[in-house]
Structure formats: C-alpha cells, structure tokens
C-alpha cells in the first residue's frame, strides 16, 4: 500500500510549518498584503489553523476540514490573475525552503492549480 501525500510530506508538523512560513510571506507581500490589512491577530491565527486543517485533510491526513469551501471563502475578494501568480511564487519559495521532493511538489502544485477557478475571481 502506498503512503499518502500527507505522510510523504511529513505529516501534521510539516504541514503546520509550511502554513507558518507561507502566511507571513503572503501577508508581507506588497501586492497581497491588502487581503490581511484589516484582520485581527485572532482572525489570522484562525485562518492559519484552517489552512493547516485544509492541507492535512486534502493530502490524505486524519484531520477533518471544518472551514468553508474555496469558492465561498474567496468570493468577492477580487483576487486577480496577477495575485494568483504572486501567490504561486510564494508557495514555490515555501516548498523549496522545506526541500519538498519533486514528486511531492508536483502533487501539491497540481492540487493548488485545481483550486484556481474557485479562488481567482476578477
């Protein structure tokens, strides 16, 4: 039996580390920071935990994601193609930082790209 992507990525702690690296990159980006400009610390912390849960659940881990679907979450945010491209660049930097192997990176990227239609809305 093959191991799940969750297991191959290193499980909960590894996915939590990715979220803890990626979100600050996005928040401090000159283009993307506007999405967090008026969020309180508790809201950002909740978002980080939802991201961890989402990643764990969608990579075959034992967590159940209780957040909203991607379309509902991103509706009305006016996320553009340019925003998407900047996000992908930050995501790649995070994957590289943690030295995620090429095969697993490919699976992660394919999954993220499958979400684009529900996220980009301008």
**How far, in Å, CA of 84 to CA of 79, rounded?**
7
**For the domain with range 5-119, which CATH number is right: 1.10.490.10, 3.40.50.1110, 1.10.287.3510, 3.40.190.10?**
1.10.490.10
Band the pLDDT of 22: cuts 50, 70, 90: very high
Checking if the pLDDT of 1 tops 90, the result is: no
- Are 112 and 88 contacting, i.e. CB atoms less than 8 angstroms apart? yes
99, two tokens: 């030295």
Band the pLDDT of 111: cuts 50, 70, 90: very high
- Which pLDDT belongs to residue 122? 84
**How far, in Å, CA of 3 to CA of 62, rounded?**
13
What percentage of the chain reaches a pLDDT higher than 90?
96
- Are 53 and 63 contacting, i.e. CB atoms less than 8 angstroms apart? yes
The H-assigned helical ranges of the chain are 5-9, 11-28, 41-58, 70-74, 81-97, 102-114, 116-119
């Amino acid at each position: 039996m093959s191991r799940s992507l969750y297991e191959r990525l290193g499980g909960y702690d590894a996915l939590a580390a990715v979220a803890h690296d990626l979100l600050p990159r996005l928040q401090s980006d000159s283009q993307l920071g506007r999405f967090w400009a008026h969020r309180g610390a508790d809201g950002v912390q909740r978002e980080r935990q939802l991201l961890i849960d989402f990643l764990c659940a969608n990579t075959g881990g034992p967590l159940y994601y209780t957040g909203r679907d991607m379309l509902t979450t991103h509706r009305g945010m006016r996320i553009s193609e340019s925003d998407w491209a900047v996000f992908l660049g930050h995501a790649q930097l995070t994957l590289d930082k943690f030295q995620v192997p090429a095969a697993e990176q490919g699976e992660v990227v394919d999954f993220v790209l499958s979400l684009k239609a529900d996220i980009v809305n301008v």
